[in-house]
């Protein structure tokens, strides 16, 4: 069984609550354990995962957050750089599921975050566990 760290960018709390519910549900349904830590925003997700990975306490990681397009270029920077950072960690061998929503508006975020609809939090957790299992298979 895996011990999973959920790292959430708690910028939109009500949306993150849904992502967290989905992620925790998927992890627990698979018989795995988990802990959760919070960072201010999506740009801090890769750094927090990298720091936690150094501890050796976790087998897999789930990055959760919501980035909603605004009126400035900031959306692109946050969306692209957080995704790049998470992908770099994955390519370095960490089992990371990316559950960062990048959406145009809150309505899109609700559909994707809600465990009864798209359940992207649960999907990210399942991806992290699948990578953990694949890494074990190839070890």
Element (H, E) at 21: helix 13-29
Q: Does the pLDDT at position 73 exceed 90?
A: no
Query: In the chain, where are the structural domains located?
Result: 60-128+130-134
The rounded mean pLDDT for the chain is 97
Q: Give me the CATH topology for the region 60-128+130-134.
A: Rossmann fold (3.40.50)
Q: Judge whether 49 is annotated as a binding position.
A: no
Q: Does the pLDDT at position 23 exceed 90?
A: yes
Name the pTM for this structure.
Answer: 0.97
Sheet containing 33-39: order of strands? 33-39, 3-9, 60-68, 96-103
Number of H helices, E strands in the chain: 5, 4
pLDDT of residue 138: 96
Model confidence at 26, pLDDT cuts 50, 70, 90, reads very high
Catalytic residues: 74
> pLDDT tens digits for 82-123?
999 999 999 999 999 999 999 999 999 999 999 999 999 999
What percent of the chain lies above the pLDDT cut of 70? 100
Residues in the chain: 139
Q: Judge whether 71 is annotated as a binding position.
A: yes
């Amino acid at each position: 069984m895996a011990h999973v760290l959920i790292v959430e960018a708690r910028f939109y709390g009500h949306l993150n609550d849904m992502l967290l519910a989905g992620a925790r549900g998927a992890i627990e349904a698979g018989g795995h354990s988990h802990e959760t830590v919070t960072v201010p925003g999506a740009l801090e997700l890769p750094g927090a995962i990298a720091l936690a990975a150094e501890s050796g306490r976790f087998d897999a990681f789930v990055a959760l957050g919501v980035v909603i397009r605004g009126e400035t270029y900031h959306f692109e920077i946050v969306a692209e750089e957080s995704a790049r950072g998470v992908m770099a960690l994955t390519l370095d061998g960490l089992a990371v599921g990316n559950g960062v929503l990048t959406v145009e508006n809150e309505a899109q975020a609700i559909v994707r975050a809600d465990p009864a609809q798209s359940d992207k939090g649960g999907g990210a957790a399942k991806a992290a566990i699948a990578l953990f299992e694949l890494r074990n298979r190839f070890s």
